[in-house]
Amino acid sequence: MNDRLYLLKIRLVDIEPEIYRHFVVPAGITLDRLHDVIQIVMGWRDAHLHGFSIGAKRYIERPESKEDGADEGIFRLGDLISEKGKTFGYLYDFGDCWQHDITILNNNYVDPESRAIVECLEGQRACPPEDVGGVPGYFEFCQALKDSKHKEHENYKVWYANFPWYDGVFNSETYKIEKVNCELLKYLRWSRERTKSWGIKDS
């Protein structure tokens, strides 16, 4: 298994000012685990379908046929793309169509002070809320929150109060990196290998 670290930049397409994160993962991470990490560093809630596009190939969770794409769980990132500066795609929520670009900023990242193989180093701006209606809906959402006279102002405030990442108060310029890295450490701990599987019968 490749034990090098990749420094990646992920950004949401078609949104300005840019919503982005810089984060580190092992080159040997499988795409299904990369999806988990992306959900945490971005601030999504893993409530919708997703897929990766690397070159001309598509990778998704548990495809039902070859036409759907390849199974993301059996491929490691470093086996599919390794060159510094290369970019690949990640699509979250096939309804709202949140397209992300992911770029390899460094394909052999080293930080002697880091104690985690998965870590977020930098991020700007809050993740849009789930089910807001994609990029057009997000722009309308932000405008409504800024304008107390907007017909949806109060409805959006109440609706967003149920979202966990920003303590019920949405600020499009806020990104809480300490909270994100705490969640990443929990994810690493909880997803560790176990002696026994979930199954009643172990082979």
pLDDT for the residue numbered 80: 98
Q: What is the pTM of this model?
A: 0.93
CA–CA distances in Å: residue 6 to residues 62, 99, 130, 178: 25, 21, 28, 20
pLDDT for residue 1 is more than 70: no
pLDDT for the residue numbered 88: 98
Residue type, 35: H
pLDDT for residue 37 is more than 90: yes
**Mean pLDDT of the 16-33 span:** 97
pLDDT for the residue numbered 163: 67
Q: Do the Cβ atoms of 100 and 91 come closer than 8 Å? A: yes
Q: Residue 121: what are its φ and ψ, rounded to 5°?
A: -100, -30
Confidence band (pLDDT; 50, 70, 90) for 198? confident
What would the pLDDT profile of 41-70 be if each residue is shown by its tens digit? 999 999 999 999 999 999 999 998 988 999
pLDDT for the residue numbered 15: 97
Report the percent of the chain where pLDDT is more than 90: 75
